[in-house]
Amino acid sequence: MPDYSPTRLIDSPELARSLGVPKLFVKDESMRLGLPAFKALGAWWATYRALCERSGSEPANWRSLSELSEYFAGLRPLTIVAPTDGKYGRAVARFARLLGFDARVFMPAAVPRPRVVAVESEGATVELVDGTYEDAVAAAEDYGADKHVLVADSAVAGSLTHD
């Protein structure tokens, strides 16, 4: 995985003292897989699992994203669909792009423009939805493409995939 590294732990002795514990470490998730959010790893894992489910099997012993992309090539054209209000959808869109898939990301229309631009910068098509995050989830669930897989960061009908 590009930009993967174990999560950095930061020793926080002052906070440990204030809490009355001998040691305290804080996970630094400020740059997970090249994205400024802890959600990136979960988004990539959920997308991988959804693609495995769609293909009916899991690739064995892949060592690079190009090998993984080649393994899932038979699923194309397939669109990866995700609801988001920002970081999760960006992570899904990046992984989709790295694997050679299109991404369609549903976002509440009220999200700040920089979040939309960040998701679009990953090559995704963004659909702005009137209403809340829950409305974006519903729109992603209802998306009527012939070939797509839904990857959501919340419980959605149909588990990870949706036809």
Asked if 39 is an active-site residue, the reply is yes
Contacts of 120 (CB under 8 A, 6+ apart): 126
Q: Where are the beta strands (DSSP E) in 5-159?
A: 8-11, 25-28, 79-83, 102-108, 125-129, 148-150
Q: Choosing from 3, 11, 85, 147, which is the catalytic residue?
A: 85
Q: Choosing from 39, 87, 102, 153, which is the catalytic residue?
A: 39
Measuring CA to CA, which residue among 36, 153, 161, 156 is closest to residue 85? 153
Asked if 87 is an active-site residue, the reply is no
Gyration radius of the chain's alpha carbons: 18
In angstroms, the CA 125 to CA 128 distance is: 10
Catalytic residues: 39, 85
